[in-house]
Chains A and B, each alone.
Chain A
Amino acid sequence: MSVPRFWRRLKNLYNLIGTHCEKCGRFFYPPRNMCPKCRRNGIVSPFKFKGSGVVVTYTIVHTSAKDYSKLTPYILAIIKLDEGPSLTSQVICDHSQICIGMRVRSAFRKLGEESDKGMIYYGTKFVPMEEKA
């Protein structure tokens, strides 16, 4: 992914900032600049999520694209944030521990890297609720 394309989303990725529609009250993460329900009638503004949620489903990825190959095997999951929206991220915990319904919270982590000399991506991953981030 190009540097500008990544850089554009840093504030969202680093701080779990999505958006909120003041018209219908729905929350969006990843952020949307148009509410899919109210469309042009919506009033969309930035919103910082608490970062707590629950695992909806997960997998353990053994074969990945090159940028992530150093991390394999890793837990990829869909997490439903307490405010409503769901997102895709990784969960850092023992592989025998992960389960559907597990409570998790966000943590700042390295996501991956392009190559030995390439860009390193950071962003939000998740850890079990009880543990310290």
Chain B
Amino acid sequence: MRDVAIIGVGCTEFGELWDKSFRELFVEAGVSAIEDANVQGGKIDALYVGNMSGGRFIEQEHLGALIADYSGLASLNVPSTRVEAACASGGLALRQGILAVASGYHDIVVAGGAEKMTDVGVETTTDALAAAADREWEGIMGATFPGLYAMIARLHMHKYGTTQEQLAAVAVKNHHNGTMNPKAQFQNEISIETVTNSLMVADPLRVFDCSPITDGASAVVIAPAEIAKKYCDTPVYVKASAQASGTISLHDRPDITTLDATVAAANWAYKMAKLKPKDISFAEVHDCFTIAEICAIEDLGFVKKGEGGPATESGMTALGGKVPINPSGGLKACGHPVGATGVKQAVEITLQLRGEAGKRQINGAKIGLTHNVGGSGGTAVVHIFGREK
């Protein structure tokens, strides 16, 4: 296996982009990534496209070919593959790209993700997202995606004394970080009261505990580490890429407040990178709901199980804290175009490690981690990146 580096990144703005189509979004992100890497189109050996639900959101399948075509790469017959793992589709597309380069099968690969969620009404979106859970045994009983995470939150509060205010603190922090990210869907500050007074979606989760419905795309260019410096002065090295599965139904999980897939993927990633949780400078984690970030920092080993709420409240995960979590604003403030999110996390890590993150820059950041989850934990993808090999 070869060492692998990210040599270019690109991202569209995230938001309700009614005047842009799926293909336009992907091409915009892809082009800015290859311009950033200073790579010519003819050099690209393969494309990986992360997407959750094109069939429902834009009634279009065969997205690999669509993207190859509209990127001008079909005339060169560049192989293009769509990758799906619900909200972890992007992280998985990134991983497929990394595996392809590491194996020696391909040299220059573009891995991206995109989702166009606002072309359909909110009820269709809710139903499409519910497909990330078990349709026949959760969906039919009236389980919604917020409903499943609400049941995680309820039990976390019961077992560990986690409070509404601690959940809200996640949203307040991520909105604050989002004010410094020009690509974020929400760039406004909110208060604890904004969250705790907002409309109830699934008790105890309110609207401001949930990530929004978003359009957006992101892409990275991956190359073998030994040639990375030919393209880029500051390549970001992939120190670990890990993926794990967990039960698709929440009710089958041994501990409903622990995402086993996250724990397994994180353990493998730490082992691969020869690192421990304390070595991680900062992380982009999957905060599709406020409770999800609290579970993530516990399952990734940054705090002990049950201590995610108090840790967030204390500022440990804020910019300038011991382990800044979601400096980009996370899914909560940036928005969550489901197929794009996992790649966008890697874009943020790359910008931070290169020192190009602007006002939200973390000083001296050396090691960054991404954590992308599909469904209520059926899939988890963890990557670790570093400034040095």
- A contact set with B: CB distance below 8 Å: 1, 5-6, 9, 13, 30, 56-66, 68-69, 71, 74, 76-78, 86-90, 100, 111-112, 121, 123
B136-186 at interface with A (beta carbon < 8 Å): 136-144, 146-147, 150-155, 158
Determine the distance from Cα of A111 to Cα of B200 in the docked complex, in whole angstroms: 22
Select A66's contact among B123, B138, B205, B252, beta carbons within 8 Å.
B123
| B250→A78 contact, CB < 8 A | yes
Q: Which residues of B contact A1 (CB under 8 A)?
A: 135-136, 139-140
| B154→A57 contact, CB < 8 A | yes
Q: Which residues of A contact B137 (CB under 8 A)?
A: 30, 87-88
Are A88 and B250 also in contact (CB < 8 A) when A30-B136, A65-B130 are?
A: yes
| A65→B201 contact, CB < 8 A | no
Select A59's contact among B147, B249, B251, beta carbons within 8 Å.
B147
Determine the distance from Cα of A89 to Cα of B134 in the docked complex, in whole angstroms: 13
* B203 within 8 Å of A (CB atoms): yes
Q: Which residues of A contact B150 (CB under 8 A)?
A: 59, 61
B193-210 at interface with A (beta carbon < 8 Å): 199-205
Are A57 and B142 also in contact (CB < 8 A) when A65-B123, A86-B252 are?
A: no
Q: Which 6 A-B pairs have the closest CB atoms?
A: A59-B150, A57-B155, A60-B203, A86-B251, A30-B137, A57-B151
* B256 within 8 Å of A (CB atoms): yes
| A61→B126 contact, CB < 8 A | no
Q: Which residues of A contact B154 (CB under 8 A)?
A: 57-59, 100
| B126→A64 contact, CB < 8 A | yes
Determine the distance from Cα of A121 to Cα of B135 in the docked complex, in whole angstroms: 14
| A64→B155 contact, CB < 8 A | no
B104-136 at interface with A (beta carbon < 8 Å): 123, 126-127, 130, 134-136
Q: Which residues of A contact B200 (CB under 8 A)?
A: 60, 62
Looking at chain A's contact residues, is the secondary structure mostly helix, strand, loop, or mixed? strand
B11-64 at interface with A (beta carbon < 8 Å): none
Determine the distance from Cα of A66 to Cα of B201 in the docked complex, in whole angstroms: 14
Are A76 and B126 also in contact (CB < 8 A) when A59-B202, A63-B201 are?
A: no
- B contact set with A: CB distance below 8 Å: 123, 126-127, 130, 134-144, 146-147, 150-155, 158, 199-205, 249-252, 256
Determine the distance from Cα of A13 to Cα of B250 in the docked complex, in whole angstroms: 18
Are A100 and B155 also in contact (CB < 8 A) when A1-B140, A64-B142 are?
A: yes
Determine the distance from Cα of A33 to Cα of B33 in the docked complex, in whole angstroms: 46
Q: Which residues of A contact B158 (CB under 8 A)?
A: 57, 100
| A57→B141 contact, CB < 8 A | no
Select B151's contact among A6, A58, A64, A71, beta carbons within 8 Å.
A58
Select B141's contact among A58, A59, A88, beta carbons within 8 Å.
A88
Select A65's contact among B126, B136, B249, beta carbons within 8 Å.
B126
| B126→A88 contact, CB < 8 A | no
Q: Which residues of A contact B141 (CB under 8 A)?
A: 76, 88-90, 111, 123
| B142→A111 contact, CB < 8 A | yes
Q: Which residues of A contact B249 (CB under 8 A)?
A: 30, 88
- A10 CB → nearest B CB, Å: 12
| B256→A56 contact, CB < 8 A | yes
Select A78's contact among B127, B134, B251, beta carbons within 8 Å.
B251
- A130 CB → nearest B CB, Å: 22
Q: Which residues of A contact B142 (CB under 8 A)?
A: 61, 64, 68, 71, 74, 76, 90, 111-112
Select A61's contact among B123, B140, B202, B251, beta carbons within 8 Å.
B202
- A125 CB → nearest B CB, Å: 8
